[in-house]
Structure 1
């Protein structure tokens, strides 16, 4: 550490289409698997920090999962005598040097040196997109592929899905919706919001003659934190309710069973329909993602 050099910590928000990535986390020592973090840290090398810049990611996302707004903190230590970068300059520099077009830095803030992007988050919101009326994969517009779960059914029982979602609200042991491999020490989580609604905007990529057949739906879940693949497992169960394969009251039974290996709760909705929509912190005005 050079004499007089100062380390500055930043909180950055960024978004990405997850299709090309092996998740958000960096992949070390692999030739073909790559994470969003790899590209962010590669861009940060151009900042010429005295110590290498590492991104501490707020919310891990799997391969194929997208983010309208994820977050991370990073430390930049400039050479002695140079002032810290302003948040605006940092954001512009990262975007200038990002080598993948499916990643964009949205905002940057200076934060205290003890700030931690994962531990300090007060809320995380996930969005899951569904489309009905798609009998064959080739009936989905090419611009929507890898961005929603296409269901062959013509409709969903949304009222039943909303009733079922009410059983998930509140503080529960969610181990029935947790996939193996979770690092969480406790399966107890508090689900603050679970909504099911038609997407009023539909999709801008659907042709007029297709709009009578294809209908888009949004599921949103909010909690301070989630278990590994919890959102995708809950989505799969709610879709089963919407298709008539489960009754709403059965969701309560599944939750209370604490059994992740049951017939319905062991199914995981496809990664490509899931978006991390927002990560919130006390005291920061953030970009409001669309939707």
Structure 2
């Protein structure tokens, strides 16, 4: 007879060396996904059940996360107690020590909990560095963590006004990637937050100047494939004067990914998934899990 429990984990990663958040199909060679490494770490715990991780948010190749989440089931023999949350975090991080992936928190959750479908919202932050003509001018710690623009100034007022156009409930088909592998996903999304604010300036002594940063924050229950990068690229294009506020409205109202201007999509390197929120009550173990834990 065996005990099995479902865990929700929160984890962070630097996405540069990974193919994205989800696992790579067996027939594909090259970089692995974050999920591949997480599942390998869970297998090192020697569970009795097959390891299958369900990730809440599918970030693209090169995109980073300060807080993504996933759930999985873990089954152990009766003579072995269930892992406490702290022990699970420590054990998984031990097996991930050679990767740029780290578990930050873990919770025991009810058996019907689903990391993707129970999420209330997801928050992304996009970082932009100004006045940097080439990424080699950035400190090593920032080179794969932002989008460097030659511009020393952007029309922040115009970008902020453009962000209000995107906020609210819309059909975001124009901001879905043309090659989306989820063409039937509902394009109507509610963007609860779309704002632009100054980030922390980086003092670069070697170049004897400060590098100013701007951050774009977006929050919604869910997003379309590459929607955040395409929204960011459009807002920057407004700030650079490449498209007008009226043209942005026309792009949104076209509801057609082909209406999105070419060559303005923001690169993956500046994008961070920063939060996945749940109802606090969902993070409490089910009575069955609580009993199993106390008996262990």
Answer yes or no: same fold by TM over 0.5: yes
Comparing 62-71 and 142-151, the one that deviates more: 142-151
Contact (CA 8 Å) 2:17, 2:31: kept in 1 or not? no
Tell me the distance in 2 between the aligned counterparts of 1:33 and 1:192.
Answer: 34
Tell me the distance in 2 between the aligned counterparts of 1:19 and 1:97.
Answer: 20
**What TM-score comes out, normalization by structure 2 length?**
0.90
Residue 6 (1) aligns with residue 6 (2): no
* Cα-to-partner distance string for 1:252-271 (whole Å, 9 max, x where unaligned): 21100112113527732100
SS class of match (1:62): coil
Residue 246 (1) aligns with residue 243 (2): yes
- Offset at 1:182? 3.9
Tell me the distance in 1 between the aligned counterparts of 2:122 and 2:208.
Answer: 34
Residue 225 (1) aligns with residue 222 (2): yes
SS class of match (1:6): strand
Unaligned runs of 5+ in 2: 284-296
Q: Quick check: which one's helix share is greater?
A: 2
SS class of match (1:267): coil
* Cα-to-partner distance string for 1:37-84 (whole Å, 9 max, x where unaligned): 111111111211111222100000111000010000010000133221
Q: Map of 1:42-121 to 2, 5 A cutoff?
A: 42-121=40-119
* Cα-to-partner distance string for 1:179-229 (whole Å, 9 max, x where unaligned): 132425211000000011111x2236x3275434x2111001000000000
Contact (CA 8 Å) 2:251, 2:260: kept in 1 or not? no
**What TM-score comes out, normalization by structure 1 length?**
0.91
- Offset at 1:98? 1.1
Q: Map of 1:100-249 to 2, 5 A cutoff?
A: 100-179=98-177, 180-183=179-182, 184-199=184-199, 201-203=200-202, 206-207=204-205, 209-212=207-210, 214-249=211-246
- Offset at 1:285? 10
- Offset at 1:139? 1.8
- Offset at 1:250? 2.3
SS class of match (1:261): helix
Tell me the distance in 1 between the aligned counterparts of 2:147 and 2:240.
Answer: 14
Tell me the distance in 2 between the aligned counterparts of 1:220 and 1:273.
Answer: 12
SS class of match (1:147): coil
User: Structure 1 runs of 4+ off > 4 angstroms?
Assistant: none
